[in-house]
Amino acid sequence: MAESSPIEQAELLAQEKAVQAAIGDRPLDFLSLNAVSNIYRAAAAVRRRAERDLLSDYGITWGGFTILWVLWVWGEMEAAPLAAECNLAKGTLTGMLTTLEKQELVRRTQHPGDKRRVLVALTEVGHNCIEELYPRFNRQETAFTAGLDDDEKVDLARLLRRVITNAELSES
């Protein structure tokens, strides 16, 4: 189904059409191009929308929300795996935890028996916050996937999972 018989041009995004018009004659992998570039585009749209419509009401940034969410799901954990789980550099996490600590949403405690390590956990306030916030966030997630049936949502998650494992390979 190459360029000769495209997939309903009418449904392509303007960006995708411009790509084909500008560089469609080159030996590039356009299927991967569209798939990957749409990943980033979707992520940016989702993030912006969540920050604007929801998180700003709580004074929480996207990164902060991610941290609260991970701590909610995983429970108390050390800084290094928390950073990995949030897709953050450990240096970034330090600053954001300080912010969240000022907001009294998380707390840091020393690891018993290893003074290098730090344990991070939700405070009571933080726990209540994410308990209240996440269901609203989840309704947004539902809205973002409106028009997809259950099988398609499962497919989307599965296809992305593949990309994630491919891209995270051999990461520091």
What does the binding site for a second copy look like in residue numbers (CB under 8 A)?
1, 7, 11-13, 15-16, 18-19, 22-23, 26, 28-29, 31-49, 72-75, 85, 87, 134-135, 138-139, 141-148, 150, 152-168, 171
- The label of the residue with tokens 């344990």 reads 119
Taking the complex as a whole, the smallest distance from the CB of residue 156 to a second copy amounts, in Å, to 4
For residue 38, how many C-alpha atoms fall within 13 Å in the half-sphere facing its CB? 16
Q: What is the per-residue binding string for DNA in 118-147, x denoting contact by CB under 7 A? A: x-----------------------------
Q: What is the CA radius of gyration of the chain?
A: 20
Query: Chain centroid to CA 84: how far?
Result: 13
Q: Of the two residues 92 and 142, which places its CB atom closer to DNA in the complex?
A: 92
77 backbone dihedrals φ, ψ, rounded to 5° = -150, 165
Residue 166 binding result from a second copy, DNA, none, given CB thresholds of 5 to 8 Å by partner type:
a second copy
Q: Tell me the two tokens of residue 171.
A: 């990461």
- Does residue 111 sit in helix, strand or coil? coil
- Comparison of 80 and 167: residue with beta carbon closer to DNA: 80
Write each residue from 62 to 101 as x if it is in contact with DNA (CB under 7 A), else as -, in one continuous string.
xxx-------------xxx------xxxxxxxxxxxxx--
Exposure class string for 106-132: b at 16+ Cβ within 10 A, else e? bbeeeeeeeeeebebebbeebbebbee
Q: Which is nearer to DNA, 98 or 154 (CB)?
A: 98
Task: Please report, as ranges, the residues that interact with DNA according to CB under 7 A.
Answer: 44, 48, 51-52, 61-64, 78-80, 87-99, 108, 113-118
